[in-house]
Amino acid sequence: MEFKKEIIINKPIEAVWEILGNQFGDAYKWASGLNHSKGFSSPVIKGAPSNNRACELPSGKIKEVIKKFDIGNYILEYEVIQGFPFFVDTAINNWQLLTIDSEKTKVQMHLVVKTKGLIGSIMRPMMKMQLSKQIEYIPNDLKHFVETGTPSQNKVKEIEKLL
């Protein structure tokens, strides 16, 4: 399964990278679907804020590892390494930022999820539907947070449910 999203953020590329890349562990502050997140362990990749991220989702906990952190090309790639069902073989999310002009940044998100076995084949359509809903909000959440400094309406609703 592949999911691709693209959005334009009305801020310089450095401002977007600060939130997406440098504050990797704090994605819960802006991303729908994350109740909490925290970066941990020393970075393996030079410039990365940490090596891993632990995330609490409404459905459980996952751990991710940074696979690529390219400051010069504004590329962040991470893989879910723990917490997905046994029939998920890999889940890798790649983000790339591109300068449009001094005040606009194009954000490209590309998530690839591979399932395995008979159960993976059976569960793939339901999983695709569920992930499609969640992924629909995330780039917009990032845009809103970077542009305003506050969580999106969707994220605020999630936060209110947790209180």
Whether 84 maps to a domain, the answer reads yes
pTM for the whole structure = 0.93
What was the pLDDT predicted at 79?
98
Q: What is the CATH number of the domain that holds 36?
A: 3.30.530.20
Whether 162 maps to a domain, the answer reads no
Helical (H) or strand (E) element with 121: helix 117-148
Burial of 123 from C-beta contacts in 10 A (0-12 / 13-18 / 19+):
middle
Whether 127 maps to a domain, the answer reads yes
What was the pLDDT predicted at 101?
97
Q: How many domains would you assign to the chain?
A: 1
Whether 65 maps to a domain, the answer reads yes
What was the pLDDT predicted at 162?
80
Tens-digit pLDDT profile for the chain (163 aa)? 999 999 999 999 999 999 999 999 999 999 999 999 999 999 999 999 999 999 999 889 999 999 999 999 999 999 999 998 999 999 999 999 999 999 999 999 999 999 999 999 999 999 999 888 888 889 999 999 999 999 999 999 998 988 7
What was the pLDDT predicted at 155?
94
Whether 103 maps to a domain, the answer reads yes
Q: Would the CA dihedral through 81, 161, 18, 7 be positive or negative?
A: positive
Domain that holds residue 115: 2-155
What are the distances in angstroms from CA 70 to CA 44, 46, 77?
A: 12, 9, 9
Rg of the chain's alpha carbons, rounded to an integer?
Answer: 16
What was the pLDDT predicted at 59?
86
Whether 55 maps to a domain, the answer reads yes
Whether 160 maps to a domain, the answer reads no
What was the pLDDT predicted at 134?
81
Question: Any idea what DSSP says for residue 18?
Answer: I
Whether 118 maps to a domain, the answer reads yes
